[in-house]
Structure 1
Amino acid sequence: MTDSPAYRLPLDPQEQPILDRLLNIRDHLSILKQDRTSYVKSQDVMKHYEAVIEQVQALNKIRENKRNEQNRVDTVLDDCFQLISLFFLTIGRNSEAPAVYSAISTVKRLLDHLKEAGFYSSKDLESVGHHIQDWQESVERGKDSHTADLLTLLDARIEVCKSTLKELHDQLSRLDPEMMGRHEKLVSILRSLSACNCRSKFPTKEVNDFEQQVNQIREEMHAETITYDGKSAEETYAAKLSNLSLSEGDVRDGREVVLALLARCTLWIDIIREKQGKIDPKFQDTYDKLLKIRNTLEQMNLTQAWSLRETDLYSFQRQLDRVDEARVNGNFLDVTGQPADLHAQRTLLYLLRKSYAFIYQYIISSEPVSEALLPIYNQLLTLKRCLQEVKRSGGVDSPRELYPYSMKLNSVDNMKKDGKFMVGNDIPEGQASVTALLDECFELAYELRSEADERSEKKDEVETNGVASKAVEA
């Protein structure tokens, strides 16, 4: 069981029974998560959700006069809510308030890391802002169906994310369109360089190509060449970072922001060239752990739609949380308590942020469909993409070419019983989404068939007129 970092504060004896019940609930949720013999049912999730809410209400009564208390009860409670939130995604109840919990927790860390890293694109912020708004609406809709204890917690976390998001937006507010284009390009280059830095074999040619792109932007901006003044590249980079540290209300000129990012790209190239992908041995274990998590999450991207159960993300979240929360003042420390050098710090932060970014991407791309219906839903998604591609490429010459698609659509439609997609005697969540997608596919097939019929009729008319003309000439 991957647990959250545990608080060491003494536990109120009154809270011990609550902790015991929460541990029991978490164990049951973990067993349910690991069981792949059948799909997760809504009633199973709701049973555990209601049991957790009971413990929250009991805890609130005990802490009526000590609201800021934090101990192991809170970490285990967070585990339970994280699991339940991911289970809500698994059963297709994405738009309900409990499903928001895990998403907001992930975005909170992601925004903190973007702020700490000191570089990000406007597209990053637009995506997060859009989804935060959706989650806010989910919480507001849940006022009549979910306890105020959970909704108040979610509201508070959303407000924290919105505040950080505004601060990050403000830093880009003075970039005109030309500067924004250069800024986006440099963000992309710096991320690509960080990815190169984590390769098993250092890609010298790619790094040289990125350096040429950076130099081109420097020439366009008539920027000065970086001088080290007797300092190392790492020392110069650290000085640039300290000048870039974001503080509330501190909004820089757009050109200044881009020039600082340009300098960071140049310095980072020199640093990773010197290191050649080698990290300080004292942080090798942490590096290997984060690299493995990043690589596993990246590989999941290839099979996500077909095999990912959202609760699979829980163990990755918890492993990353442990690494993140073990830092002191943002620093990764070795076994003796000494902070890592700049290269190790930035490399480990990149892997941490990238891993959270993958988890965020998987959460927001979760379909509002129970895993029981996902095989059907994914088949229909594939059919829809195929039909759209056929339409984009000019359609078909004959309705007969659509037979394979029509047969598949009819076979899916015939799976319904009384208008519902059933699994045994159960009616899984996501019926409306699957039905709507099926209707879209039928509509696309109908449009293609109609276009093919029109082409066929026109062809017959041309051939008939041609025969008639030859007869008259004869």
Structure 2
Amino acid sequence: MTDSPAFRLPLDPKEQPILDRILTIRDHLSILKQDRTTYVKSQDVVKYYNQLIEQVELLNQIRETKRDEQNRVDTVLDDCFQLVSLFFLTIGRNQEAPAVYSAISTVKRLLDHLKEAGYYSGKDLGTMALSIQQWRESIERGQQSYSPHLLTLLEARIHVCQERLQELQQSLSRLGPDVVGMYERLVSILRSLSACNTRSKFPVREVKDFEEQLTQIQDELHESRDVHEGKTAEQTYAERMAALSLTEGEIADGPTVIRALLARCLLWIEVIQERQGKIDDRFQDTYDKLLKIRNTLEQMNLTQAWSLRETDLYSFQRQLDRVDESRVNGNFIDAEGRPADLHAQRTLLYLLRKSYAFIYQYIISSEPVSEALLPIYNQLLTLKRCLVEVKRSGGVDSPRELYPYSMKLNSIDNMKKDGKFMVGNDIPEGQASVTALLAECFDLAYELRADSEREREDDDGDAMQLANGSVEVAG
């Protein structure tokens, strides 16, 4: 198993029994995560959560006079809470406090990386602001149900995220409505260029197209390209990094931000065109590792709804955490402690941020349904999409066309026992969500059938009137 970044402070002998117990808990959680022979049951997850909280309470008693202590106990506790959090998502208890832990950890890293990258869009921040608010509500709802030790920890982490979010929002507020569209376009191009830079084969033509777009923007703004005589684009980029960042330096107005970001895009194009996707050999292993993680997470996007168990994200989180925590003062360093050049630094940071972004997306799109009910839930989602599309396209000509949908909906409805979807003798979490979705599908099918019958009656009436008119003329 991939371990968390490890602290090396000495362990208080009094904490050794706690470490032993939480290592055992982590082992049990890992075994549960790997077992695909059956679905994860709510009672198993709650059992390990309660055992974990017992150890946290004991640890807090020992550390009454040393609250800032950090050693291996804390890293293993973090592992356990991450796993428990993802398990709460897996069993469909997304709106409960423990489920928030993993999401907050991921968003904190994303916000830090956005600040470090020096560019981001309002959409990035808006999505995370909404998520943070929802997680805060989950914590408030859990006041009577969950340990104050957990809630205090979650509240502190949310506070840190909120502060960083407000810092980034404030920086973005420097942009007036007249330049926001241009800024968003430049951010999109810069990200697309970073994606091109990580392709297996460097896309020369595509990068050239982006360069032409930037040249067009440059002409619109009546700007000239940075010639940087006697220096490489990489050297110039590094020297002007603070001036080109939205969050650093004293940027007075929106037009200044736009000009700086445009200059950054043009310099970055020069850098990646020169490198042609080739990373510094010293960081090839790290690059390959991050690229593989990014590609795997991206491919999961195609099958997420049908095959993803949220706990699968844990190993990716831990691998990324290891890479992120290995940096020194934000720099990726080689085996001899030397920092990466600018190209490697920005490329590795892009892959790191993009991978965390995928994990965040999978977490927030997790359905509030136990994995035991996901097959039914996903079938209903597909049926709903089909029915909505049929309605959008003008409905059906005959109720007969709805028979396949009705038969499938009735077969799903008949799976219920005493109004519940059962798996053996268990009642998995997410009953309300599945039942509500089933009702939506029945309503859509009913509306389509009613519209079809009404249209047919109108057609019959028109035909009758036409027939009567013909008789009168004949008479």
TM-score, normalised relative to structure 2: 0.98
Question: In the alignment, which residue of structure 1 is the partner of 2:207?
Answer: 207
- The Cα of 1:81 is off from its aligned counterpart by 0.1
Question: In the alignment, which residue of structure 1 is the partner of 2:147?
Answer: 147
1:411-430 superposed matches below 5 A = 411-430=411-430
Q: Distance in 2 between matches of 1:263 and 1:447?
A: 55
Amino acid paired to 1:101: Y
Helix, strand or coil for the counterpart of 2:368? coil
Helix, strand or coil for the counterpart of 1:242? coil
Q: Distance in 1 between matches of 2:276 and 2:245?
A: 27
Question: In the alignment, which residue of structure 1 is the partner of 2:125?
Answer: 125
Q: Distance in 2 between matches of 1:161 and 1:452?
A: 52
Residue 396 (str. 1) matches residue 385 (str. 2): no
Contact 2:420 2:427 in 1 (8 A): yes
Contact 1:93 1:369 in 2 (8 A): yes
Q: Distance in 2 between matches of 1:371 and 1:230?
A: 60
Q: Distance in 2 between matches of 1:214 and 1:376?
A: 48
Question: In the alignment, which residue of structure 1 is the partner of 2:44?
Answer: 44
Amino acid paired to 1:273: Q
Question: In the alignment, which residue of structure 1 is the partner of 2:457?
Answer: 457
Deviation per residue, 1:370-407 (Å, 9 max, x gap): 00000000000000100100111111111111111111
Contact 1:171 1:252 in 2 (8 A): no
Question: In the alignment, which residue of structure 2 is the partner of 1:380?
Answer: 380
Q: Distance in 1 between matches of 2:18 and 2:88?
A: 23
TM-score, normalised relative to structure 1: 0.98
Which deviates further from its counterpart, 221-230 or 111-120? 221-230
Question: In the alignment, which residue of structure 2 is the partner of 1:218?
Answer: 218
Question: How many equivalent pairs are there?
Answer: 474
Shift in alpha-carbon separation, 1:268–1:247, aligned structure 2, 3 A? closer
Question: In the alignment, which residue of structure 1 is the partner of 2:256?
Answer: 256
Deviation per residue, 1:132-153 (Å, 9 max, x gap): 0000010111110001111111
Amino acid paired to 1:86: L
- The Cα of 1:249 is off from its aligned counterpart by 9.5
Deviation per residue, 1:17-74 (Å, 9 max, x gap): 0000000000000000000000000000000000000000000000000000000000
- The Cα of 1:242 is off from its aligned counterpart by 2.5
Shift in alpha-carbon separation, 1:261–1:246, aligned structure 2, 3 A? closer
1:111-260 superposed matches below 5 A = 111-244=111-244, 252-260=252-260
Question: In the alignment, which residue of structure 1 is the partner of 2:30?
Answer: 30
Q: Distance in 2 between matches of 1:326 and 1:293?
A: 17
Q: Distance in 1 between matches of 2:192 and 2:245?
A: 22
Amino acid paired to 1:167: E
- The Cα of 1:250 is off from its aligned counterpart by 5.1
Shift in alpha-carbon separation, 1:288–1:428, aligned structure 2, 3 A? same
Question: In the alignment, which residue of structure 1 is the partner of 2:298?
Answer: 298
Question: In the alignment, which residue of structure 1 is the partner of 2:63?
Answer: 63
- The Cα of 1:248 is off from its aligned counterpart by 8.1
Helix, strand or coil for the counterpart of 1:243? coil
Helix, strand or coil for the counterpart of 2:435? helix
Q: Distance in 1 between matches of 2:70 and 2:248?
A: 28
Residue 271 (str. 1) matches residue 271 (str. 2): yes
Q: Distance in 2 between matches of 1:212 and 1:453?
A: 56
Contact 1:3 1:318 in 2 (8 A): yes
Shift in alpha-carbon separation, 1:246–1:393, aligned structure 2, 3 A? closer
Helix, strand or coil for the counterpart of 1:138? helix
Deviation per residue, 1:406-464 (Å, 9 max, x gap): 11111111111111111111100000000111111111111111110111001111222
Unaligned runs of 5+ in 2: none
Helix, strand or coil for the counterpart of 2:359? helix
Contact 1:420 1:431 in 2 (8 A): yes
Question: In the alignment, which residue of structure 1 is the partner of 2:345?
Answer: 345
Contact 1:171 1:251 in 2 (8 A): no
Identity %: 75
Q: Distance in 2 between matches of 1:434 and 1:81?
A: 28
Q: Distance in 2 between matches of 1:57 and 1:145?
A: 16
Q: Distance in 2 between matches of 1:57 and 1:463?
A: 80
CA RMSD between the two structures: 1.1
Deviation per residue, 1:132-187 (Å, 9 max, x gap): 00000101111100011111110010011011111111111121223100010011
